[in-house]
Each structure stands twice: as structure tokens, then as C-alpha cells.
Amino acid sequence: MVADFWNLSGPANFVERVASRMLSSPKGILGVTVPSARPRGFKEAIMEAARERGGGRVVHVNAQDRSFDRSIPHGLARAGGIRDTSIHSVPAFADLPGLSAASFLIDGVDRDAWGRWSAFLRSFAAASQRADASMDAAQRLSPRLIVLLPVDLPRSDVSFLFGKDEMQWRAYVTPVDTRTYVTRLMRQDGGESLLDRVAAETVIRLAGWDGEMIRLLAHRDPEELADPIALLSDLPGLDMHPTWGNGLIDEWDGSPFIHSLACRPAIEHPTLKRRIWLAQSHALTPFVGEVIDFFADRYGAILAPDLPYAVETRKGIKHIHALRDLEASHLYHLLNERIPKLEATFLKSVAAVRNTVAHHNVVPADHLIKLSEKWDEIRSNRSEARGWDWPRCGQKLVLMVGPSGAGKSTLAKRRYSQDSIVSSDDIRIEKYGSLETSDQTDVFKEVERRVIRRLADGETVVLDATNLKRNDRLAIVDKIPADIQIVYEVVDRPLPEKLATGDWRLKKEGLIEGHSEIFIQELPNILAGDNRPNVDVIDHRAA
């Protein structure tokens, strides 16, 4: 998952620019200033980019090695595989045929040794320019040096030596990068519960630019993330004054972002509380709209006669003419005595949560957990009238259930006619021309539309998707009348076989392994048919 971080747009752009600047530097040297607390995989990402862009060898060098005590050129030559002990001068090192077009990533230069290294780098830049004077910078034959610079060097020294050939690891991780990374790590595909959505936003807002913090929080349970103050209190604090140099501040979302663990010692820190509020508001605001739409659709016939609805405001009476313009509190007052108590109580809670967020206050964890559970329960409640006008022709809904690469599509095509199969992968290709898409919402809406249409026509339909998560299965299962048969056809293969034939799935790091883990966790629910009386299970794994 560390590699995924360096594939994000911002970090990938940084290492690509390092490789590009290394090739174009007329001096043959590039300084990279990075905080003392570096992102994991920093050196490896730069080396890989330099190797791919430059096409030559990339040698990692630790400047703390004792081979540099007497002669830096000789130490670098030895690191590059040259054993000629007579190499002591800088020009001799720059002209070595055995190091032609090689690149060195020099790490571990500290302030105490900077005098020796800066003198060497100045001499190397001059020698390199003389040796390659007749060539374009990208065609140079002399070695290229990328130097990871300590943050405690005077800026005047760095500017004098490197000039424009210096880069800083600063402000390269954007909120879009963070969101993308969190979505991948938490394996979110658009069908998450409210608690899952709040958890993801909490990780984004608390971690900011720090990939290590993202990974740490993303693997916590959503229930833990609902109470981030308690979670942060259990983590070791960073009791240092935060600076960019010590890795506790970087630019993110347009302003300096202090690491959340540096805020932790003052647990009532307003910055920390604001981040938690921002996370909750980002998830809860659209959720409230989702709830309003749901109740407006379900009880539109009851609500319509009450329109226009008069509301007192500070500016006088306001009349609401559209159902979806009603707020959660309006729906509660209009429906309180006319709908099931569970739903009325839920609407009251939604209205309270909306007001809490509107006043910039944080919703307590237990409220979030209960609200999420009640919403899942309300959404999964069956409508006994659903499908009342469908013909009963013995049609059934078949869900292929299994991890990515398990062989679901192959089995479905062997057992059922092609026109009966609704494939989520086929719909992705229809809509986006590729399986590589992060937006699943439109795909699953179209899947549901086709499944319902075929059942309503009296025809059996096979849903070819992973159907791994219970919420995803029930999102379609609970829309089917109770007298229509549903079959879970469970498919899997040994992990080595799935990896051997992974094809495009191998491009997504950890996809096959992650799906296999989810499948194992979900298996009890799957084999129990999610405790729905009209669900039968066929387990093909034993075949």
C-alpha cells in the first residue's frame, strides 16, 4: 500500500519532476530538501523514477559510510562498483567510463560534514560541465548526483550551490490525493453506511498530507473513528514544536496543516475539533439530503396535501412548495403521528444532528453509531407492495458471490444464457470504456435498473458482480418481493490460482488479496443467505 501512495497524483508528480530536473541540470547535481521525518518509500520512489526516466543505473549512497572519511570521489566510485583505488580527484571521478550516465542518490549528509560535501559538489559541477560542454544536458555522460539535503543548512548555502537545481518536498500531497488514498485503503465503492462515510472523512481531515497517518487511521474500525478524540488520546503524542523541518507541518488544502498528533497534547485544541467537525459535516450534510429525498419519495402522497408548508423565519413567514425543499425537522412534524415510530424517531434524530452540525458542534460517537444503524435498518425494510404487479413466472434472482478472480463470470456463462446475465464489469465498460473507474454510483444504479426490469418482465436474472459486502447484497435483495426466489451462487478458487490468472486485476495492488479477506469475513453471512427466508445458497467451492 506504500507504493499506492507514490502513485497518487501529487507524490508521483514530485518524483517525476526530480527525475526530470536531474536529467536537465547543466551542473549534473540536484538538491532535494526533505523534512527529517520523511514519507515512507521516499528514497525508493525517487530511485525508481530516476531509473525509468534516465535509463541508467541508480546507486544509493549513505554519506555516513566510513569509505567517505578520506575521499568522497573514491567513496562514490567504490559505491558505483569501481575498485580502482587511484581515483582521488573530482575530475577523475566525473570522467570514469564505468559510471557513464549513472545516477547517485546521496543520503545522510549532515551539517557537520556539509563543508566537505559542498566543496566536492562545487568541484563536481565544474568538472561535469567541462567534460560535457559539447552535449545537451539530457545527453551528458558524466554521473548525475541527487543529494538529499538536511533541513538545518543555511538557505544561502543551498541557493549558492544549487540555484534553481533544488527541490523541496513541500505541498505535494493535495486533499484529492488524500481522499483517493483513503478510498483505496478503506475499499470504499459507493455503497457505504453513514458510519463508514464519517470514518473516511475523519481519516482525511485528521491525517491531511501524512501517508503514514492515513494508513494508521484507515485500518481502524469505523466505530473507533467515530470518537477520534479518544482514538488520538491512545496514540503517542509528538511533543515538539511543529515545523516543516521536523515533518510536523506541511501545506495542505491551501494552508499550513499541523500534524494532528502535534495537536494532541492540548486535546481541546480548537484546530483538532474543527477538523473533526469538518469531517462530520462533509459526510452528514449530504446524508441529511439523502434522508429527505427518501422520506419525500416514500411518503409523498401523505405530504403533498400539506404543501405549501409555512415556516416561521427571522424574516417572516416562508412558504415551501416542493417536498425536497422541506428540512428533516419539517418532515418530523408532518409525519410524526403518521409513520412507524422507528422512522419518526429516526427523523427527529436526523433533525437534531443537522442542527448540531449547523452550529459547528461535533456529534457524539454514540449518536453517529445509532443513526447509522437505524438508517441501515430503515433502508433495508421491505415494502410488501413492491413488485405487486410483476408476473409470477418462476423467475428468480441469482447473485454470483465471490472475490475478484474467483471465476464467477465463467460459471455464470456456463450455467445461464447470456441475455439473463447483468454484469457490473460490462456496464463499467459501456459507461466509461474501461474497468479502471473509481465512480461506482452510476454503475450500480444501472445494475439495479436492469435487474428490476428483467424480474418485472417475469425473467430470471443473474447479477454478475462480487457481491461481497452484506450491505451491497441487501441493497438489491431487499428490493425483491418476498415470494421471489433468490439464489446465492458462491464461487472461489485458491489464492495462488487467482493471482496466476489475475490479468488486469494485478494492476490494482492488493485487489485480489483484499477481496479474499473480505470474502472470508463475510462468508458466515453469505452461507446463511443473510438470514433472508427467500434466499437459497449453492456453494460451488466444494464442487
Separation of CA 205 from chain center: 13
Considering 148, 168, 188, which residue would you say is the last residue of a domain?
168
385 phi/psi in degrees, rounded to 5 = -90, -10
- DSSP 3-state of 485: strand
Q: How many folded domains does the chain comprise?
A: 3
Q: Are residues 163 and 177 in the same domain?
A: no
Look at the block and give the residue holding cell 549513472. Answer: 102
Specify whether 304 is located in the same domain as 416: no
- Please report whether residue 387 resides in a domain: no
**Per-position b or e across 232-254, b if 16+ CB within 10 A of its CB:** beeeeebeeebebebbbbbbbee
CB environment 355-385: b (16+ within 10 A), e (fewer)? ebbeeeebbebeebbebbebbeebebeeeee
Cell of 447: 445494475
Measured from the Cβ of residue 189, the count of other Cβ atoms closer than 10 Å reads 17
Q: Please check whether residues 81 and 117 belong to one and the same domain.
A: yes
Contact 57, 103 (CB under 8 A): yes
Tell me, what's the pLDDT at 355? 96
- For residues 178 and 307, membership in a common domain is answered with yes
Residue 215 lies in a domain: yes
Picking from 122, 139, 168, the residue at the C-terminal end of a domain is 168
Is there a single domain that holds both residue 421 and residue 342? no
At residue 138, the pLDDT reads 46
pLDDT string in tens for the chain (543-residue length): 666 899 999 999 999 999 999 888 888 999 999 999 999 999 999 999 999 887 678 999 999 998 888 889 988 988 888 876 667 688 888 888 888 878 999 999 999 999 999 999 999 998 887 755 555 544 556 789 999 998 989 889 999 999 999 999 999 999 999 999 999 999 887 778 999 999 999 999 999 999 999 999 999 999 999 999 999 888 887 778 899 999 999 999 999 999 999 886 555 588 999 999 999 999 999 999 999 999 998 888 889 999 999 988 888 899 999 999 999 999 999 999 888 888 899 999 999 999 999 999 999 999 999 999 999 888 765 455 578 789 999 999 999 998 887 888 899 999 999 999 999 888 888 888 776 665 677 788 888 889 999 999 999 999 998 898 887 888 788 788 889 999 999 998 888 777 777 566 666 666 778 888 888 899 999 999 988 889 999 999 865
What's the pLDDT at 3? 67
Q: Spell out the residues 6+ positions from residue 77 whose beta carbon is closer than 8 angstroms to its own.
A: 84, 87, 93, 96, 99
Q: Is 15 contained in some domain?
A: yes
User: Contact, 34 vs 147, CB < 8 A?
Assistant: no
What is the C-alpha end-to-end distance of the chain, expressed in Å? 34
Kindly state whether residues 141 and 203 are assigned to the same domain: no
Are residue 137 and residue 221 in the same domain, yes or no? no
- On whether both 376 and 236 belong to a single domain, the answer is yes
Give the model's pLDDT for residue 223: 95
Identify how many contiguous H helices and E strands the chain contains and give both numbers.
24, 14
- Does residue 388 belong to any structural domain of this protein? no
Question: Which amino acid appears at position 343 of this protein?
Answer: E
Strand partners, 423: 464
Q: Contact 183/218 with Cβ under 8 angstroms?
A: no
pLDDT of residue 263: 86
What whole-number distance in Å separates Cα of residue 263 and Cα of residue 210? Answer: 14
Do 373 and 236 share a structural domain?
yes
Strands (E), 226-343: 249-252, 255-258, 309-313, 316-320
Does some domain include residue 521?
yes
Closest of 221, 177, 216 to residue 198, by C-alpha: 221
CA–CA–CA angle 469, 475, 481 (5° rounding): 130
Say yes or no: 178 and 145 in one domain: no
pLDDT score of 382: 47
pLDDT confidence of residue 98 = 81
- Tell me the CATH number at 21: 3.30.370.10
Q: Smallest Cα–Cα separation from 280: which of 363, 349, 336?
A: 363
Is 437 found in the same domain as 327?
no
In a domain, 386, yes or no: no
Q: Which domain holds residue 145?
A: 2-168
Domain boundary among 358, 381, 404: 381
Dihedral over Cα of 22, 25, 28, 29: its sign: negative
Q: What is the CATH number of the domain that holds 442?
A: 3.40.50.300
Phi, psi of 72 (to 5 degrees): -65, -45
**For the purposes of burial, counting CB atoms within 10 Å of the CB of 314, is it exposed (0-12), middle (13-18) or buried (19 or more)?**
exposed
Say whether 272 sits in a helix, a strand or coil: helix
What's the full length of the chain, in residues?
A: 543
Residues 293 and 429 in one domain: no
